[in-house]
Amino acid sequence: MDTTVIQQDIAQADAVNALAEALGPKGLLRDHGDCDRYASDQSGLLGDRPVAVLRPASTEDVSRALAICSQYRIGVVPQGGRTGLSGGACSPQGAVVLSTERMSGVVEIDREAMTLTALAGTPLEAVQDAARAAGLDYPVDIGARGSATIGGTIATNAGGIRVLQHGMTRANVLGLEAVLADGSVVSRLGKTVKDNSGFDLKQLFIGSEGTLGVVTKAVLQLRRHVPQSALALFALPNHAAALACLAAARQRFGTRIRAFEGMWPDYWDFVCHETSLATAPIAGRHGFYLLIEVEAEAAETNEELEMFFAELFEQGLVEDGVLAKSLAEMQALWSVREAVGEVDDDFGHHVNFDIGVSPSDLGAFCDAADAVLATLPDALGVLKVGHVGDGNVHLLVAHNGSSAAEDQVEAAIYGLLREWQGAVTAEHGVGRIKSRWLGHCRSPEELALMRGLKAQMDPLGILNPSALFMPEDI
């Protein structure tokens, strides 16, 4: 052990002592067993044991903690519910974790402004429930709603199945409070979408994965709650037909389309036939499957969907379809789409891509991906499922489990993506597992500006030091 390492250890111990004093007995964990529980998220990447886990109870605590971390130049990994899929909440060596778990609660609901103010550590589902109890709706929804926190969904700009209707998390945040690396608090908790008084600073913290500041509080835009909806599953000849259906659905239902989810036959066959993860609600083989959910403003919406189907059928755009007649049938239809969360065991080693391209290019991109994967001996199969209207496909590619095969598959798909000018991640975030591919979709000028902003706002590089950027970048 050389002198530098010893000095680092001493500095680390001093930092932890200072943090413990600032945050109080409930505010810091340093027991190894406790710390291990905060090392990783749900990406599959294993984080290192954090030096300590900070559990601030207030914005002031976060401010004090970050000021101390700056002073000792110790890395801080902000954590919400650790449900991320990109390793953005995994701890690197020598860092502390800052968990917002003690900063939980809905502070206020303003029915007239249709806003909800919540602390960063509030679970997404608690926000949704509080909104509904007030007769309103917070429309951001993801599978991890029970554990994911509002702060985490903001830091990662969470997407989900209702993006088509209400946008990403970014579109649903009106006000934000965040703490900068030096501990200064940047707070703007306004309740209006209309504010051109200087730079819209909240945009910097939304989706930057904790690399520019720690989100502590937010004012969210609520929407009208429409409890009823109609749901149908259509079988189509191909993805091109799905795009035509989307255009027709937009003309007919406008912003009432709540979800427009697509499944390629590889995915459908895997979950319905090759495994028993789901039961096929439609028989026979088809080229594409669509799950369409429409807000039911009127009792006639089921009939509207039936008429819509009849029209599309006449045009040859759909080959078969089934309409949910009960809540149980709705769940059955959704279960085919949601089975993607359960394929891991059966599908074996695989890369889970979260590709974004222009919605108009999605079908062609997937065809090209199929073609390039067919040339790779170590690519053992592909499942494709995604959000047709958003140009977002989750492409699961099985391989033999070697890191060489994983590299080969990633290089092939991200290489293709570069040609299509897409996004290496549409909704899951860059985190740690996609940072090396970021240059495949962002230009040197963009990356330079990103690095410049990071250097300006976090000059010591303490905020989520292993996320988003490559280590050599900062």
Q: Which of 206, 296, 380, 397 binds a second copy (CB under 8 A)?
A: 206
Name the segment binding a second copy (CB under 8 A); options: 126-134, 145-153, 196-204, 341-349. 196-204
CB–CB of 248/241 below 8 Å?
Answer: no
Q: Which of 161, 220, 231, 457 binds a second copy (CB under 8 A)?
A: 457
Q: Which of 186, 282, 332, 474 binds a second copy (CB under 8 A)?
A: 186
| Pairing outcome for strands 53-54 and 96-99 | parallel
Check residue 403 for interaction with a second copy (CB under 8 A).
Answer: no
Element (H, E) at 324: none
Given the complex with a second copy, which of 199 and 326 has the nearer CB atom?
A: 199
Spatial separation of the C-alpha atoms in residues 218 and 253, rounded to whole Å: 31
Question: Which SS3 state, helix, strand or coil, does residue 250 take?
Answer: helix
- Residues of 9-42 as b/e, b for ≥16 C-beta within 10 angstroms? eeebeebbebbbebbeeebbbbeeeebeebbbbb
- DSSP β-bridge partners for residue 262: 290, 386
Find the shortest distance in angstroms from Cβ 208 to a second copy.
6
Q: Which of 303, 448, 470, 471 binds a second copy (CB under 8 A)?
A: 448
Check residue 276 for interaction with a second copy (CB under 8 A).
Answer: no
Check residue 321 for interaction with a second copy (CB under 8 A).
Answer: no
Binding mask 42-81 for a second copy (x = CB under 8 A): ----------------------------------------
CB–CB of 18/68 below 8 Å?
Answer: yes
Rg of the chain on CA atoms, in Å: 23
Check residue 107 for interaction with a second copy (CB under 8 A).
Answer: no
CB–CB of 392/356 below 8 Å?
Answer: yes
Check residue 438 for interaction with a second copy (CB under 8 A).
Answer: yes
258 Cβ contact partners less than 8 Å away, ≥ 6 residues apart: 161, 162, 164, 165, 229, 293, 294, 295
Check residue 193 for interaction with a second copy (CB under 8 A).
Answer: yes
Given the complex with a second copy, which of 89 and 277 has the nearer CB atom?
A: 89
Q: Which of 32, 33, 227, 251 binds a second copy (CB under 8 A)?
A: 251
Find the shortest distance in angstroms from Cβ 144 to a second copy.
15
Name the segment binding a second copy (CB under 8 A); options: 47-55, 122-130, 142-150, 420-428. 420-428
Check residue 195 for interaction with a second copy (CB under 8 A).
Answer: yes
Name the segment binding a second copy (CB under 8 A); options: 18-26, 47-55, 202-210, 328-336. 202-210
| Nearest in space to 311 (alpha carbons), one of 389, 388, 229, 251 | 251
Paired tokens of 61: 């605590």
Given the complex with a second copy, which of 228 and 402 has the nearer CB atom?
A: 228
